[in-house]
Amino acid sequence: MTFYLRTAGKADLPAVKQLLAVTWHDTYDALYGVEKVNDLTTRWHSLEALQKRLTMPNSEFVVADDGTQLLGMAFAQMEGKDVKLHQLYVLPGHQGEGIGQALLSEVMDCFPEAKTISLEVDEDNVKALGFYKRNGFEPKGKTSDCGNNGDRIPAQILSRNLQLNS
């Protein structure tokens, strides 16, 4: 499959919002229930919330598309010497095609001065845990409030070194 990576723009945000809703329902309906997923995606992935990410300092917001539709997205922000990967999602029908790997590599390449990259992932999200572990991430702890949004969603914190000498 051919796809292209590029920096997200304002015109991409409705498609990003839709992609997030589809992937979240596919991944989390069985874990949290449809109603809670609807609530979370409405609040966390509103056009306003996504638009703020476009202009955040020390951040990278990238999308993958095939020329006709958005297939994946990633958002990360540098905090000190650590990159925080806040989002990396690929449409369910296109997972396993290298899009997630390409998005992850792109995000890591965007922060050459970073020493580590870390993220939070639900412990029951087996697909995501497997993906990140295959990409060198290791468990570094747990949080009781994934994303620090006050929603009290427990998650595992994963991290990996980005520099050989770190």
For the chain, the domains span 4-116
Pick 148 or 23 by higher pLDDT.
Answer: 23
Question: Considering the entire predicted model, what is its pTM?
Answer: 0.92
Mean pLDDT rounded to a whole number for the chain: 92
Give every CB contact of residue 165 below 8 A, 6+ residues apart in sequence: none
SS3 124: coil
Residue range 33-62, pLDDT digits in tens: 999 999 999 988 999 999 999 999 999 999
| Sheet-wide strand order for 138-143 | 4-7, 59-65, 70-79, 82-90, 116-121, 155-161, 138-143
CB 142 within 8 A of CB 129: no
Fold of 4-116: Aminopeptidase (3.40.630)
Query: What pLDDT does 46 receive?
Result: 94
Report d(CA 103, CA 94) in Å as an integer: 13
For the segment 137-151, the average pLDDT, to the nearest whole number, is 74
